[in-house]
Structure 1
Amino acid sequence: MKKAVWAPGAAAVLCALSTGASAQSSVTLSGRIDAGFAYMNNVQTSPGVTASRFGMQSGDWGTGMLNFTGTEDLGGGVKTIFFLSRSLKATTGTAGTVHRKSWVGLSQENYGTIKFGRDLFISNGVSAFDPFLQEMFSSASLVRGRTWQQTNSNVGYLSPSWHGFDLAAQYSFGGKPGNWNGTDTGSYGRSDGLQLTYRTGLFDVRAIYDELRDPNGQFSNVFTASREFILAANLRLGSFLVQGAATRMFAPDTPTGLASTANHYWLGVGYQANPFLLVTLAAYHVDVGQGAGNDTHDAHGHATMYELGTTYNLSKRTFLYANVGYVHNSSNATFSLEPNNPGLNNSNLDNPLPGHSQVGAYLGINHSF
Structure 2
Amino acid sequence: MKTTLGAVVLLAASSAACAQSSVTMYGRVDGGIEYLNHIANGNGGSSTRWSAEGGDWGTSMWGLKGTEDLGGGSAAIFDLETAVQIMNGTTGGGRLWSRRAYVGLKNDTWGQLQAGRNLFIDSDGVWAFDPFVQQAVSSASLVRGRNWQQTSNNVEYHSPVWKGLDVQGQYSFGNQPGNFNAGAEGEFGRSDGIMLSYHSTLFDLRGIYDELRDSSGRFSNIFTASREYFVGGNLRVQKFKIQAAYTHYSAPDSPPGISDTADHYWLGATYQATPKWAVTAAGFYIHVGEGGGDASHDPASHAMLYALGTTYNLSARTFLYGTVAYVNNSKNGTFSVFATPRDSSTPTSPMAGQSQTGAYVGMMHVF
TM-score normalised by length of structure 2: 0.92
Q: Matches of residues 264-283 of structure 1 in structure 2 within 5 Å? A: 264-283=264-283
**Does structure 1 residue 131 correspond to structure 2 residue 131?**
yes
1:24 deviates by 2.1
Q: Matches of residues 219-368 of structure 1 in structure 2 within 5 Å? A: 219-342=219-342, 345-347=343-345, 349-368=347-366
Equivalent residue number for residue 198 of structure 2: 198
Q: Give SS of 2:147's match.
A: helix
Whole-angstrom distance in 2 between the partners of 1:35 and 1:81: 31
| Deviation digits for residues 104-161 of structure 1 (CA, Å, limit 9, x no counterpart) | 1100111111110000000110100000000000000000100000000001111001
**Does structure 1 residue 28 correspond to structure 2 residue 28?**
no
**Does structure 1 residue 83 correspond to structure 2 residue 79?**
yes
1:186 deviates by 4.3
Whole-angstrom distance in 2 between the partners of 1:200 and 1:96: 36
1:321 deviates by 0.0
Equivalent position amino acid for 1:193 in 2 = G
- What is the aligned residue count? 348
Equivalent position amino acid for 2:108 in 1 = E
Against the structure 1 CA distance between its residues 94 and 219, is the aligned structure 2 distance closer, same or farther, given a 3 Å change threshold? closer
Equivalent position amino acid for 1:357 in 2 = S
Against the structure 1 CA distance between its residues 185 and 346, is the aligned structure 2 distance closer, same or farther, given a 3 Å change threshold? closer
Against the structure 1 CA distance between its residues 234 and 21, is the aligned structure 2 distance closer, same or farther, given a 3 Å change threshold? farther
Q: Give SS of 1:259's match.
A: coil
| CA contact 2:341–2:347 (8 Å) conserved in 1 | no
Equivalent residue number for residue 108 of structure 2: 109
Q: Give SS of 1:145's match.
A: coil
Aligned match for 1:48, one of 44, 51, 65: 44
Bigger Cα Rg: 2
Q: Which moved more, 1:163-172 or 1:345-354?
A: 345-354
Equivalent residue number for residue 207 of structure 2: 207
| Deviation digits for residues 203-241 of structure 1 (CA, Å, limit 9, x no counterpart) | 000000000000000001011100010000000000000
Whole-angstrom distance in 2 between the partners of 1:215 and 1:106: 30
Against the structure 1 CA distance between its residues 22 and 161, is the aligned structure 2 distance closer, same or farther, given a 3 Å change threshold? farther
Whole-angstrom distance in 2 between the partners of 1:296 and 1:192: 23
| Deviation digits for residues 244-290 of structure 1 (CA, Å, limit 9, x no counterpart) | 00001001111110000000000000000000000000000000000
Whole-angstrom distance in 2 between the partners of 1:119 and 1:151: 6
| CA contact 1:142–1:286 (8 Å) conserved in 2 | yes
| CA contact 1:46–1:349 (8 Å) conserved in 2 | no
| Unaligned residue ranges in structure 1 (runs of 5+) | 1-19
Equivalent position amino acid for 1:333 in 2 = G
Against the structure 1 CA distance between its residues 140 and 146, is the aligned structure 2 distance closer, same or farther, given a 3 Å change threshold? same
| Deviation digits for residues 293-345 of structure 1 (CA, Å, limit 9, x no counterpart) | 00110000000000000000000000000000000000001000111113xx4
| Unaligned residue ranges in structure 2 (runs of 5+) | 1-15
Against the structure 1 CA distance between its residues 21 and 241, is the aligned structure 2 distance closer, same or farther, given a 3 Å change threshold? farther
Equivalent residue number for residue 38 of structure 1: 34
1:70 deviates by 1.0
1:46 deviates by 3.6
Whole-angstrom distance in 1 between the partners of 2:77 and 2:42: 48
Alpha carbon RMSD of aligned pairs, Å? 1.4
Q: Which moved more, 1:92-101 or 1:64-73?
A: 92-101
| CA contact 1:21–1:77 (8 Å) conserved in 2 | no
**Does structure 1 residue 60 correspond to structure 2 residue 56?**
yes
1:164 deviates by 0.8
Whole-angstrom distance in 2 between the partners of 1:76 and 1:52: 60
Against the structure 1 CA distance between its residues 288 and 348, is the aligned structure 2 distance closer, same or farther, given a 3 Å change threshold? farther
| CA contact 1:152–1:186 (8 Å) conserved in 2 | no
Equivalent residue number for residue 166 of structure 1: 166
Whole-angstrom distance in 2 between the partners of 1:178 and 1:340: 33
| Deviation digits for residues 140-190 of structure 1 (CA, Å, limit 9, x no counterpart) | 000010000000000111100111100000000011111000011542100
Equivalent residue number for residue 5 of structure 1: none
Against the structure 1 CA distance between its residues 210 and 367, is the aligned structure 2 distance closer, same or farther, given a 3 Å change threshold? same
Whole-angstrom distance in 2 between the partners of 1:295 and 1:94: 28
Equivalent residue number for residue 121 of structure 1: 120
1:353 deviates by 0.5
TM-score normalised by length of structure 1: 0.92
